[in-house]
Each structure stands twice: as C-alpha cells, then as structure tokens.
Amino acid sequence: SQQGEEDPQALSIQEGENATMNCSYKTSINNLQWYRQNSGRGLVHLILIRSNEREKHSGRLRVTLDTSKKSSSLLITASRAADTASYFCANRSGSARQLTFGSGTQLTVLP
C-alpha cells in the first residue's frame, strides 16, 4: 500500500495551544497536501507544499516537508474549538495519477 501514516492518531488540546500533526510517506513525491474533514462532511483542502519546498505558511497553518525523511508536519497555532476535525495528508508520487491519503489525525480542541 502507498498509504502514508500519520501520528498521532488522535490529539486533544486546549484552545489556544498549538497542534502538531506528522505524516510519513513511502515514495518520492511531486507535492504533499493537507486536508481537513469535519465529522461526516467532505474534505477541504488546506495547503499544498511542493517537493522542492521545505516550509510553507498559510494563516495559522505552517507546513514543513523533509523529503530525505519522507515526512511532513502540519502545525496549527493558537488553536480554536472550530479546528476540531480530522486532518489528512495526501501525496502524489511521480508516476501515480492519483492522490494517496494518509491515515489521518483526529484533532479535538477543548474550549
């Protein structure tokens, strides 16, 4: 399976704290993306980082990519209760024609 692994599987934090989620993948990639999914809803694209980039920011989101370790991390700063959701990384390797999603992290932000 090309599916990546994410850790932790579940993360519970207080509002205002930072949340860090990690993603590992198995093959070389063109880009890596992060998606959020509220319970029972569709996925929403958060951010894309290309294989030649090491860090990217978008609002309260910071994504890093380490291609030598085949890993990425998503940092959400100053978390809010509305950030409660599942977060998935997804990547497309060079010859693949589709995204492969990681196993996901369930984030709970307590008010």
Partner 1 sequence: DTEVTQTPKHLVMGMTNKKSLKCEQHMGHRAMYWYKQKAKKPPELMFVYSYEKLSINESVPSRFSPECPNSSLLNLHLHALQPEDSALYLCASSQVIAGVSNTGELFFGEGSRLTVL
Least separation in angstroms between residue 79's CB and partner 1 is 21
Among 23, 63, 76, 102, binds partner 1 (CB under 8 A): 102
How far apart are alpha carbons 39 and 42 in whole angstroms?
A: 8
Least separation in angstroms between residue 62's CB and partner 1 is 18
Q: Per the structure block, which two tokens stand in for 23?
A: 């993603």
The answer to whether residue 59 forms part of the interface with partner 1 (CB under 8 A) is no
Least separation in angstroms between residue 31's CB and partner 1 is 7
Q: Per the structure block, which two tokens stand in for 2?
A: 């090309």
How far apart are alpha carbons 60 and 91 in whole angstroms?
A: 22
Q: Is 16 left (phi over 0), alpha (psi -120 to 50) or beta?
A: left
Q: Per the structure block, which two tokens stand in for 57?
A: 């920011």
The answer to whether residue 21 forms part of the interface with partner 1 (CB under 8 A) is no
The answer to whether residue 87 forms part of the interface with partner 1 (CB under 8 A) is no
The answer to whether residue 56 forms part of the interface with partner 1 (CB under 8 A) is no
Task: Find tokens 């599987």 and name the residue.
Answer: 9
Given the rule CB under 8 A, which residues bind partner 1? 3, 30-31, 33, 35, 40-45, 48, 88, 90, 92, 97-99, 101-104, 106
